[in-house]
Amino acid sequence: MDRFHLMNVFIAVAEEQGFAATARRLHLSPPAVTRAVAALEEQLGVKLLNRTTRFVRVTEAGRRYLEDAKRILEDVKTADETAAGINAAPRGQLVITAPVLFGRMFVMPGIADYLNAYPNTEVSAMFLDRVVNLLEEGVDVGIRIGELPDSSLRALRVGSVRRVICASPQYLQRNGLPRKPRDLLEHSIIASSAGNNAIDWRFDNVALRIQPRLTVTTNDAAIEAAHCGFGITRLLSYQVAQPLGEGKLTIVLENHEPPPLPIYIVHREGRFASARIRAFVDLMAKRLRADKALNQSA
C-alpha cells in the first residue's frame, strides 16, 4: 500500500481513537482501516496502537511516529502547493491560536484584514488561555507571550508586555498605596486563573504567595472587579492599556516589576514556504510591532 495513505489512516485512527470512526471520516470500510494499520505496523516492525474492545490508544512508539507522520504529510502538502503554483496567492484554510483577550483585541482585526485581502482563504481561530501544541492540534500559527521552550517551531518576536499591578484610584484612596510587594498581603487581591500565576506573584527579587479574596476565571472579570474598586489585581499591560489610559486604573509597585515578557508569532512552516502562512505572519507582525501597547519596557 502507498505509505502516505497508511500514514494518513494511522493519524486518523489515533485522533478518532477508534477504527469505526476513522472509517466514517475517511469514507473507507472498517476492514480497510484495520488492514492499513496492520500493514504500517508490519512495515515498521513496531506496534503503534494498543487495541481493546473498548478503546484504541497509541503506544509510546506510536505517539512519536504520530508527530513525525503529521509533520511529513504537512511538508508534502506544502510541497504540492508550491509545485502547483499556489504560492502565487494565499489559498485554503489557516488555523490560528492566541490567548483569549489578546485574540479579541489584536488578532481578530488582523484576521479580518487577512480575509479581506485574500478572498480564497478561510480562517479557524482558537482563542484559549492555554499553550496549544501546534503539531498535535493541527494549528498553523500561534501567538505566544513569554519565553519559548526549545522546539522545531519557527518564532518571530514582535513585541513585549509588562506584568503590572493595578487598582482603581478610589480603592487606593480608601486603602492606601502599597510601597513594597509584601504590602499586598494587607490588601484585597483579585486573582485571575486564566494566567499561570493566579496565586504566585513574582517580582524583581521576591516571590509572593498571595491570598486572593476574589478569584475569577477570565482576565476581563479581574479588570472589571478592579475597576469597581474591589481590590488590587495583576495583569499584563496590554490587557489594561485602555482603563489605564482613561484613568480608571492606576499602576502600583512599578519599580518592582519583573522583566517584560516577549511576544512571539510561532508557526509550523517547513522548508517549502506556504503562502497562506507567510502572508498572515507578515501581516500580523507588521500590525503587532506597530502597536504601542505591545512594545512595553519596564
pLDDT above 70: percentage of residues in the chain: 91
Query: How far apart (Å, rounded) are the C-alpha atoms in residues 25 and 296?
Result: 47
- Confidence label for 205 from pLDDT (cuts 50, 70 and 90): confident
Query: How far apart (Å, rounded) are the C-alpha atoms in residues 172 and 193?
Result: 23
Query: How far apart (Å, rounded) are the C-alpha atoms in residues 11 and 17?
Result: 10
The answer on 252 and 182 residing in a single domain is: yes
The answer on 27 and 102 residing in a single domain is: no
Identify the bridge partners of residue 216 per DSSP, sorted by sequence position: 192
pTM equals: 0.69
What's the grid cell of residue 184?
499586598
Q: Which residues of 258-275 are buried (b: 16+ CB within 10 A; e: fewer)?
A: eebbbbbbbbbbbebebb
The answer on 215 and 144 residing in a single domain is: no
pLDDT score at 269 = 65
The answer on 94 and 67 residing in a single domain is: no
CATH of the domain at 53: 1.10.10.10
Question: Between these two residues, 271 and 233, which has the higher pLDDT value?
Answer: 233
Q: Which of 67, 83, 99 is the last residue of a domain?
A: 83
For residue range 47-83, list pLDDT tens digits in order. 999 887 777 889 999 898 998 888 888 778 777 766 6
3-state helix, strand, coil in the chain (%, to 5): 45, 20, 30
Residue 135 pLDDT greater than 80, yes or no: no
Which residues have C-beta within 8 Å of that of residue 150, sequence separation ≥ 6?
none
pLDDT score at 112 = 97
The answer on 154 and 21 residing in a single domain is: no
**Structural domains in the chain (count):** 3
The answer on 229 and 285 residing in a single domain is: no
Range of the domain at 146: 86-161+261-294
DSSP state letter for 239: G
pLDDT score at 133 = 83
The answer on 37 and 8 residing in a single domain is: yes
pLDDT score at 79 = 72
